[in-house]
A and B are shown apart, each in its own frame.
Chain A
């Protein structure tokens, strides 16, 4: 699994919405996802395939249906990339608050 695959998978708003639905509502059959998007199943299936190839969802056949579930592990590399900058500024802002709290008003 190359890094680019995960970022490419996430670059599409429909696929991000799929991940949001799986995160908030848990495992779902493909038809339930298709209903949400008002989208033809073949195009949704293509998005699901990209997500599956990137390791972001798992597919589980149950009877005649296919259930999809979120697999967040590959997102760690995204968090790792952004982390340093955002952590830096959050820490600095916390320090700023301390400096201000210790500073007399003008």
Chain B
């Protein structure tokens, strides 16, 4: 059984890949939808995102990142480290009609952590997309 240990989210954007790429790789634009940062589109560049600290979770509010891959305008990969996390964020841009489907994968959640591992095992594949939403709806009705 596969254990991807990843969150995967995708979103259709009614804009061409080149424009989506700009919003992903321009520091000022990134700050407008993600977090303040000192990103530069250079492979190997180390940068940070800064957000609200959450001392209770051992997170000082700084996400330490590194540009792992830069394949304009298709794929962008960052190391994403902060608090308990030592993970990788991958953006994939796929042309779709006149727009772009943007895939986000946030992978590498600690495979030694049994709770994390089991959660991602549970949430892989079709069970996640087809069943989980309805289970969540069922939960909402319980509330």
Query: When the two chains form their complex, are residues B121 and A86 in contact, meaning their CB atoms are under 8 A apart?
Result: no
1/0 per residue, CB under 8 A from B, across A13-37: the answer is: 1001001100100000000000000
- Cβ–Cβ < 8 Å partners of A13 in chain B: 1, 127
Query: When the two chains form their complex, are residues B13 and A97 in contact, meaning their CB atoms are under 8 A apart?
Result: yes
Interface size on B, residues (CB 8 A): 36
- Cβ–Cβ < 8 Å partners of A41 in chain B: none
Contacts A85-B7, A86-B9, A89-B9 known; A96 to B33 CB distance under 8 Å?
Answer: yes
Query: When the two chains form their complex, are residues B15 and A92 in contact, meaning their CB atoms are under 8 A apart?
Result: no
- Interface residue ranges of A39-97 to B (CB < 8 Å): 70, 72-73, 75-76, 78-79, 81-82, 85-86, 89-90, 92-93, 95-97
Query: When the two chains form their complex, are residues B7 and A11 in contact, meaning their CB atoms are under 8 A apart?
Result: no
Contacts A3-B115, A7-B114, A92-B33 known; A79 to B139 CB distance under 8 Å?
Answer: yes
A residues within 8 Å of B by Cβ? Answer: 3-4, 7-8, 10-11, 13, 16, 19-20, 23, 70, 72-73, 75-76, 78-79, 81-82, 85-86, 89-90, 92-93, 95-101, 103, 105-106
3 smallest A-B Cβ distances: which pairs? A7-B118, A95-B33, A96-B33
